[in-house]
């Protein structure tokens, strides 16, 4: 039985090396093809009539003028007369035409009438519980209690209560959602689709169309961002399938930016009134929260409160608001960033009330962070060194002169990240070339590079010697890239396939080296006798012993017979250093430190990029992002990239990333890292702003108007007192 | 609109666009140069950036008629004799991308920046590049890539 454990640090040649991503040249040259770039012969272009109302019933549709327009190939009613629409931007009628301008012209010729129905698009106001229980706009979750909250607050010498929250935001992938369908014959469909889920999306589209999943072939080379919004079935994949079937031609439909922001991405909001209590020495005793939020007609998520902390006495109640905005989608670490704000901000305020440094408050209560107390404690110390927290921290309110105030904030987070179900077919050919086939996808995280690093390390060959095929549903079945599950899945499956292939090769090569298979090893492009490295064959000569046979092995994850190479459950600590201009309300990030555990790191350059990118997305939602809805019209007011602002290159300050790796961490196995570092920035930055200006800005994003309002409120209240 | 001649990546191309067609649409749909991306259609994200007479321009907001008689360079035109432009190579070496959908626009903006300012300071880079959005968040590496390209004579 071969050894199915990751090689020790001294044996790793390619795993853990700072390699550039293998798709770099394709991407930097513009040759990388996205779904949006794909053109098929005789392809038609589709656009939709979209409902302008947040809640309405379709009463009549007249497509006659559009059908007569030259160049229009087909008109397809998506939501016919009598259908109820639950958010603005919903597709009502789709048109396929010879080119985009014609499709847009046809859309303008279609007349749809609606009966408007009552809508709700807001979610900010604290719902009255008694009314919420009676209203169809709310879903009230059961009250959950642990310990004895009343006694906990009674024993608390310091109690703090406040409002906190973060709004609905969007994903805003730069490549909008969309797909191309074609029917090579009347039973089979070929789908190019911008997706995080090459293996699973075909089945979902097939179900919606009413055809066998086996008859849908899905392909994608590159995707221009997903962040959780491209995991599941969308109407657009179904629409192109139906239009293509109708016309007998390939049909492409990619969203414009406006419908993308209105309908193709929504992270639920979460607001709460939170009360926390502690002893004078900082011992955290009690938690009470009344939280609410929305993510469209399905309601919102339910933030896991209190986040990360095992507060001994707690009581919580959550209300989901059912409203008429675009549907909720998984957004990088679903529910965690919201929960982190709702927990780490009130605890930071409590620490301030206790006249404690939040760092000390966390350390004081470190046992409540079970089972990751040790990881958090070590990470806090690393972050302290990288930020200079202990040397630079000051109590609430920067007392230096001048309008610009500086402050520090911290937050901590967790995530699962266990590798998903994955399959890898690895072939070693007699000429020494190696082929790896997996039905996974690289959503920009560097999956291609990581797979190749594992295969190259295990076979002792150069990465250039390995041909990797991914992004196609005909390849061995993998899973969606969501939940930070890809790296654990693909690395384990690839490793097992490579180990088994290597064993088979050793069996063929051993006689030529006058050795037993178990005596052999691979290193530096050679197969050699471990105890006598001089007795070796070049990789190519070794593979020639296969004669006419190719070795093909299937590696699978999970595979309990072949060890466990992965793990779940990481911790991370982030610190932010901000400056706030108290005259303009503008918040500027000076520096952020992200310290992250993710077990064994396969590809450090990619892993660090994930943390950097997550922190930047965090800066973006902390300072700028909000899906602004207008209750009068029921529509989104900022459905463009001018007013739906994202962080730019000048907004992010200095970013320092530290991965907790090496002894004590590597042994955990591989764990996903894409999501966890997105969690803390909102709370860490909000806490830094509070530390700088001395008052809490309760809600994200921390826009100038909110900062100024918080300052004014504090001044007025201070004046009154 | 009658047939027009566009000079793209050093060659003349005859195209017959409709009235009011944007340069981005012509490049992608009529010339099959898909390296230049649609991101927002309103000049706010920079994914569609090309060079017009060496200056970075948003092709999604440039009427094609305004490009007649000018030299248009797209990401496909940077490579010379099979060798990537120093800015392209620097983006690879610094790994200044993830999903990379923004990368062609980023690189074109960076090439334009270095053409007008061969030794940009950090502030110059921020000013020159702040309108190009990378949703994956690779900004620090983009800055490092531009600095690396500048050191290696990236303006070429």
**How many beta-carbon pairs below 8 A join chains A and B?**
162
Q: What is the number of alpha carbons within 13 Å of residue A611 lying toward its C-beta? A: 25
pLDDT grade, residue B8 (50/70/90)? Answer: very high
Q: What angle do CA B63, B68, B72 make, to 5 degrees?
A: 85
CA distance B155 to chain A (A): 16
Identify the pLDDT of residue A716: 86
Q: List the one residue out of A258, A283, A267, A271 whose CA is nearest residue A162.
A: A271
- CB environment B96-117: b (16+ within 10 A), e (fewer): bbbbbbbbbbbbbbbbbbbeee
Q: At what angle do helices A447-459 and A486-509 cross, to 10 degrees?
A: 30
Q: Enumerate the domain spans of chain A.
A: 9-32+419-562, 35-118+182-254, 342-417+567-720
Distance CA A332, CA A620 (A): 13
| Dihedral of alpha carbons A72, A34, A194, A52, sign | negative
Whole-number Cα distances in Å, A450 to A457, A564, B129: 11, 18, 30
Whole-number Cα distances in Å, A183 to A44, A188, A200, A234, A623: 13, 6, 19, 19, 46
Query: Would you state the torsion angle of the CA atoms of residues A89, A444, A223, A559, taken in this order, to the nearest 10 degrees?
Result: -100
* CATH architecture of the domain with residue range B4-76: Roll (3.10)
Cross-chain CB nearest to B41 (options A37, A39, A257): A257
Distance CA B122, CA B112 (A): 16
In this complex, do B84 and A28 lie within 8 Å of one another by their Cβ atoms?
yes
Q: What is the CATH number of domain A342-417+567-720?
A: 3.30.365.10
Chain A residues lying within 8 Å of B136, measured CB to CB: 225, 444, 613
Burial class (CB in 10 A: 0-12, 13-18, 19+), B87: buried
| Dihedral of alpha carbons A170, A171, A176, A182, sign | negative
CATH 2.40.10.10 fits A9-32+419-562, yes or no: no
Radius of gyration of chain A (CA): 28
CA distance A612 to chain B (A): 7
Q: Enumerate the domain spans of chain B.
A: 4-76, 86-151
- Annotate B96-144 with three-state secondary structure: CCCCCCCHHHHHHHHHHHHHHCCCCCHHHHHHHHCCCCCCCCCHHHHHH
Chain B residues lying within 8 Å of A225, measured CB to CB: 99, 101, 135-136
Distance CA B45, CA A87 (A): 26
* CATH architecture of the domain with residue range A35-118+182-254: Alpha-Beta Complex (3.90)
In this complex, do B100 and A445 lie within 8 Å of one another by their Cβ atoms?
no
CA distance B9 to chain A (A): 14
Q: Which two tokens stand for residue A429?
A: 């050919």
Cross-chain CB nearest to A223 (options B99, B107, B132): B99
pLDDT lower than 50: segments of chain A: 721
Q: Which two tokens stand for residue A32?
A: 């990388």
Q: Are A622 and A686 in contact (CB under 8 A)?
A: yes
In this complex, do B137 and A443 lie within 8 Å of one another by their Cβ atoms?
no
Identify the pLDDT of residue B156: 58
Q: What is the DSSP string of A314-360?
A: EEEEEEEE--SSSPP---SSTTHHHHHHHHHHHHHHHHHHTT--HHH
Cross-chain CB nearest to A641 (options B44, B76, B107): B44
| Dihedral of alpha carbons A7, A10, A16, A22, sign | negative
Q: Is the pLDDT of residue B153 over 80?
A: no
Closest CA in chain A for residue B19: A101
Radius of gyration of chain B (CA): 15
Q: Which two tokens stand for residue A287?
A: 């938690």
Q: What are phi and psi of A276, to 5 degrees?
A: -135, 150
Identify the pLDDT of residue B100: 98
Average pLDDT on B80-103 reads 96
Cross-chain CB nearest to B92 (options A20, A34, A651): A20
Cis, bond preceding A306 (omega within 30 deg of 0)? yes
In this complex, do B97 and A31 lie within 8 Å of one another by their Cβ atoms?
no
Cross-chain CB nearest to B45 (options A37, A101, A641): A641
Whole-number Cα distances in Å, A468 to A40, A69, A448, A453: 24, 46, 7, 11
Cross-chain CB nearest to A642 (options B42, B79, B140): B42
Residues in contact with A680: Cβ distance below 8 Å, sequence separation at least 6, in sequence order: A337, A340, A344, A411, A412, A413, A572, A573, A574, A594, A618
Residue showing tokens 């050679």:
A526
Identify the pLDDT of residue B154: 61
Cross-chain CB nearest to B34 (options A33, A254, A444): A33
Distance CA B103, CA B97 (A): 7
Q: Which two tokens stand for residue B145?
A: 């890539």
Residues in contact with B134: Cβ distance below 8 Å, sequence separation at least 6, in sequence order: A174, A649, B97, B102, B106, B142
In this complex, do A31 and B93 lie within 8 Å of one another by their Cβ atoms?
no
Q: Which two tokens stand for residue A602?
A: 């396969």
Whole-number Cα distances in Å, A249 to A242, A578, B104: 11, 55, 30
Chain B residues lying within 8 Å of A640, measured CB to CB: 40, 42, 44
A538-555 pLDDT, tens digit per residue, is 999 999 999 999 999 999
Chain A residues lying within 8 Å of B102, measured CB to CB: 174
In this complex, do B35 and A617 lie within 8 Å of one another by their Cβ atoms?
no
Distance CA A234, CA A295 (A): 16
Distance CA A351, CA A396 (A): 10
Chain A residues lying within 8 Å of B84, measured CB to CB: 25, 28-29
Cross-chain CB nearest to B133 (options A37, A610, A641): A641
Q: Which of A174, A448, A678 to mutate to test the interface with B (most CBs of B within 10 A)?
A: A174
Identify the pLDDT of residue A295: 85
End-to-end CA distance of chain A: 76
Whole-number Cα distances in Å, B149 to A342, A486, B92, B145: 43, 33, 11, 6
Q: Is the pLDDT of residue B155 over 80?
A: no
Tell me if residue B54 falls in helix, strand or coil.
coil
CATH 3.40.190.10 fits B86-151, yes or no: no
Distance CA A34, CA A224 (A): 7
Q: What are phi and psi of B154, to 5 degrees?
A: -65, -15
In this complex, do A36 and B37 lie within 8 Å of one another by their Cβ atoms?
yes
Domains A9-32+419-562 and A342-417+567-720 share a fold: yes
In this complex, do B37 and A614 lie within 8 Å of one another by their Cβ atoms?
no
Distance CA B13, CA B17 (A): 12
Q: Which two tokens stand for residue A346?
A: 């009130």
Q: Which of B31, B40, B42, B144 to mutate to test the interface with A (most CBs of A within 10 A)?
A: B40
B27-47 pLDDT, tens digit per residue, is 999 999 999 999 999 999 999
Closest CA in chain A for residue B100: A27
Distance CA A250, CA A243 (A): 9
Average pLDDT on B73-85 reads 96
């Amino acid at each position: 039985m071969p050894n199915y454990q990751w090689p020790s640090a001294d044996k790793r040649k390619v795993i853990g090396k700072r390699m550039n991503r293998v798709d770099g040249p394709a991407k930097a040259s513009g040759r990388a093809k996205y779904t949006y770039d794909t053109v098929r012969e005789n392809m038609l272009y589709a656009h939709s009539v979209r409902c302008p109302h947040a809640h309405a019933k379709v009463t009549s549709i007249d497509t006659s003028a559009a059908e007569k327009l030259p160049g229009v190939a087909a008109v397809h009613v998506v939501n016919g007369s009598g259908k109820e629409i639950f958010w603005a931007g919903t597709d009502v009628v789709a048109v396929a035409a010879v080119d985009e301008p014609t499709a847009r012209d046809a859309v303008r010729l279609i007349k749809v009438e609606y009966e408007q129905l009552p809508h709700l698009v807001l979610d900010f106001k604290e719902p009255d519980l008694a009314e919420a229980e009676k209203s169809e706009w709310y879903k009230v979750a059961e009250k959950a209690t642990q310990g004895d909250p009343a006694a906990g607050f009674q024993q608390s010498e310091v109690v703090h209560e406040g409002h906190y929250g973060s709004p609905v935001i969007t994903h805003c992938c730069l490549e909008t959602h969309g797909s191309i369908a074609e029917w090579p014959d009347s039973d089979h469909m070929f789908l190019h689709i911008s997706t995080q889920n090459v293996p699973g999306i075909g089945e979902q589209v097939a179900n919606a169309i009413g055809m066998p999943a086996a008859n849908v072939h899905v392909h994608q080379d590159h995707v221009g961002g997903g962040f959780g919004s491209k995991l599941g079935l969308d109407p657009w994949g179904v629409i192109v399938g139906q239009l293509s079937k109708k016309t007998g031609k390939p049909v492409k439909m990619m969203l414009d930016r406006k419908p993308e922001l209105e309908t193709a991405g929504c992270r639920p909001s979460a607001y709460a009134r939170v009360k926390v209590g502690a002893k004078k020495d900082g011992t955290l005793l009690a938690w009470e929260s009344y939280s609410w939020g929305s993510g469209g007609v399905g309601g919102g998520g339910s933030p896991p409160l209190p986040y990360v902390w095992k507060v001994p006495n707690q009581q919580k109640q959550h209300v989901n608001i059912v409203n008429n905005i675009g549907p909720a989608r998984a957004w990088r670490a679903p529910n965690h960033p919201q929960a982190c704000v709702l927990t780490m901000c009130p605890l930071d305020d409590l620490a301030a009330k206790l006249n404690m440094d939040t760092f000390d408050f966390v350390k004081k209560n470190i046992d409540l962070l079970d089972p990751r107390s040790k990881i958090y404690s070590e990470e806090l110390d690393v972050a302290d060194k990288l930020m200079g927290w202990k040397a630079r921290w000051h109590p609430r309110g920067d007392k230096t002169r001048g309008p610009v105030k500086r402050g520090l904030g911290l937050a901590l987070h967790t995530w699962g990240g266990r590798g998903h179900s994955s399959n890898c077919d690895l072939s070693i050919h007699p000429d020494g070339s190696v082929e790896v086939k997996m039905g996974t996808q690289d959503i920009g995280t560097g999956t291609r590079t990581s797979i190749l690093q594992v295969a190259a390390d295990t076979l002792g060959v150069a990465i250039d010697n390995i041909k990797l095929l991914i992004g196609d549903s005909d390849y061995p079945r993998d899973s969606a890239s969501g939940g930070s599950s890809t790296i654990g899945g693909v690395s384990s499956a690839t490793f097992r396939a490579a180990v088994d292939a290597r064993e088979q090769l050793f069996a063929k090569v051993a006689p030529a080296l006058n050795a037993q298979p178990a005596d052999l090893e691979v290193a530096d492009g050679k197969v050699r006798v471990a105890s006598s490295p001089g007795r070796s064959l070049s990789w190519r000569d070794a593979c020639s012993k296969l004669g006419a046979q190719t070795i093909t092995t299937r590696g699978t994850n999970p595979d309990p017979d072949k060890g466990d190479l992965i793990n779940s459950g990481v911790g991370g600590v982030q610190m932010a250093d901000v400056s706030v201009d108290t005259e303009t309300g503008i918040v500027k990030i000076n520096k952020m430190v992200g310290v992250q555990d993710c077990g064994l790191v396969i590809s450090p350059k990619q892993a660090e990029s994930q943390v950097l990118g997550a922190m930047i997305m965090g800066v973006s939602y902390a300072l700028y992002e909000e899906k602004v809805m207008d209750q009068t019209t029921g529509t989104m007011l900022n459905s463009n990239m001018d007013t739906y602002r994202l962080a730019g290159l000048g907004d992010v300050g200095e970013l320092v990333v530290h991965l907790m790796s090496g002894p004590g961490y590597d042994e955990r196995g591989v764990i996903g890292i894409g999501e966890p570092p997105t969690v803390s920035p909102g709370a860490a930055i909000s806490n830094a702003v509070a530390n700088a200006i001395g008052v809490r800005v309760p809600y994200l994003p921390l826009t100038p108007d909110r900062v100024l309002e918080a300052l004014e409120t504090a001044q007025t209240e201070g004046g009154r007192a | 609109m009658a047939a027009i001649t566009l000079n793209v990546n050093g060659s003349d191309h005859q195209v017959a666009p409709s009235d009011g067609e944007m340069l981005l649409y012509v490049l992608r749909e009529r010339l099959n140069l898909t390296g230049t991306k649609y991101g927002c259609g309103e000049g706010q994200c920079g994914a569609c950036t090309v060079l017009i007479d060496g200056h970075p321009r948003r092709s999604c907001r440039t009427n094609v008629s305004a490009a007649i008689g000018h030299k248009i360079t797209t990401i496909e035109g940077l490579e010379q004799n099979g060798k990537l432009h120093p800015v392209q190579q620097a983006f690879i070496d610094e790994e200044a991308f993830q999903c990379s959908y923004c990368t062609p626009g980023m690189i074109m903006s960076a090439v334009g920046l270095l053409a007008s300012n061969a030794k940009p300071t950090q502030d110059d880079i921020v000013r020159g590049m702040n309108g190009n959005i990378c949703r994956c968040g690779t900004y620090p590496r983009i800055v490092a890539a531009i600095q690396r390209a500048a050191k290696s004579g990236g303006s070429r």
